[in-house]
Amino acid sequence: MTRIKIPYYVIKHGKGYFQPSRRMRLAGFEPRPLGDDGPAAWSEAWRLCREWKQGEEPTNRRVYPVGSVGHAWERFRRTNTWAEKAPRTREEWDYAWSWMEPIWGDTAPATITLEQIEELRATIIGNVSLHAAHRVIKIWRAFWKKMAAMHYCELYADPSLGIRNRAPRGRSATWQEGEIARLAKEAWRSGYYGLAALLAIAWDTQFSPVDCRLLTPAQRLQDRRGVFFDTSRAKTGRATIGTLSRRCARLLDAYLERLGIELHSDAAIIRNRSGRPYSKDTLGDDFRVVRQSVFPGDTRRLMDIRRSGAVEAIAGDVDPAVLGQKMGNSIHESRALQQTYLPRRAATVRLADEARKRGRRVLRENEW
């Protein structure tokens, strides 16, 4: 690993830590773990250094009373448990905290009532959505357990247990193979070459949009049966493999040739028309433009591609463990050998590909 000299940054047992001086601590900067020593930790350390040099207010400058929810939150964020959470998970927790902090930052957990929980939930539903309210209450319940472990409250005294945290109805929209092909062709014709490649990859691999955005050349591998990506899910960190059809591999190669630059092994493959890696917002914007051109008024999303593949595979009578291996979710965790050896894992994933083809035929026959 390259040694990077960053002020107030130290490495212990392969982990990076931000260790501010006494003067910085008096100004509100707290020590914090930054995860594995590497680019992500370096970037956060430099950000904190710039924050100090520029005299900006640190994000954790506010001092919470000892024993309060805010005090527990600051302690929890300095733990390795927090540092090891996937970035997307930390984003969700920070979003939940943005709702909880103004109300309960200075409050002792034991003084929070059921009525306050209900009021918060109703406010989020009214201003955002049921989905957001469900996520905030779910994270509150998980955080309550952390507070109990740190002796801020009693484990089974969580007032939110008095309400039903009803989840929103799950999405059920799906795409068909021909529709994704039409979208990819329109994207290519319109100059959205990165989007065209992403659509093909998402259909074949059943990766989520964010997982597709984060793919790198180093993760692209090949065996005698074809090309596949060996990566881990952005949200859970679980290792997973995404196989590509020959048609998709050819499209990806054509896109890389048109890109006209040599990508670093850890650089993002999928890029927008400016040549920059796709962000969540730019990807969504470009997809909506292409979708409106091909299917005016349609409201289906990129994320629905992942579900579409599962529907095909289930219709093709796929083994649930094989589908779990394909999608990188918890169903396949008991199949340790499938995760141990890469050739076997790739072969297992291709079983799900075959089931999807069978299911595709079944779905087409049922349409008539």
Tell me whether strands 220-223 and 226-232 are parallel, antiparallel or unpaired.
antiparallel
Cα 184 from Cα 334, distance rounded (Å): 36
More confident residue, 235 or 69: 69
Tell me the average pLDDT across 26-49.
76
Asked whether residue 191 carries a pLDDT value surpassing 90, the answer given is yes
Residue 4: its pLDDT value, please? 53
* Contact criterion met (CB below 8 Å) for 241 and 230: yes
The 8 Å CB, 24+ separation contacts for 256-261 are 258/193, 259/193
Residue with tokens 């021909």: 178
Cα 227 from Cα 215, distance rounded (Å): 13
Cα 368 from Cα 360, distance rounded (Å): 13
User: Looking at the DSSP assignment, which residues form a beta bridge with residue 204?
Assistant: none
Asked whether residue 307 carries a pLDDT value surpassing 70, the answer given is yes
Residue 83: its pLDDT value, please? 84
Residue 309: its pLDDT value, please? 77
pLDDT-wise least confident of 52-56, 58-62, 351-355, 364-368: 58-62
Out of 32-36, 181-185, 312-316, give the one with best mean pLDDT.
Answer: 181-185
CATH superfamily of 177-367: Intergrase catalytic core (1.10.443.10)
Per domain, the residue ranges of the chain are: 1-61, 66-165, 177-367
Q: What is the DSSP string of 252-296?
A: HHHHHHHH-S---TTS-S-B-TTSSBPPHHHHHHHHHHHHHHHST
pLDDT range class, residue 57, cuts 50, 70, 90: very low
Residue 152: its pLDDT value, please? 95
Condensed to tens digits (0 to 9), the pLDDT of residues 143-161 reads 999 999 999 999 999 999 9
CATH fold of 66-165 reads DNA polymerase; domain 1 (1.10.150)
More confident residue, 29 or 268: 268
Tell me the average pLDDT across 259-279.
89
At 297, the amino acid letter reads: G
* Contact criterion met (CB below 8 Å) for 68 and 105: yes
pLDDT range class, residue 348, cuts 50, 70, 90: low
Tell me the average pLDDT across 25-34.
74
Is the pTM here over 0.75, yes or no?
no
Distances in Å between the alpha carbon of 123 and those of 119, 133, 159, 160, 234?
6, 8, 17, 15, 30
Provide φ and ψ at 11, rounded to 5°.
-120, 130
Cα 316 from Cα 241, distance rounded (Å): 20
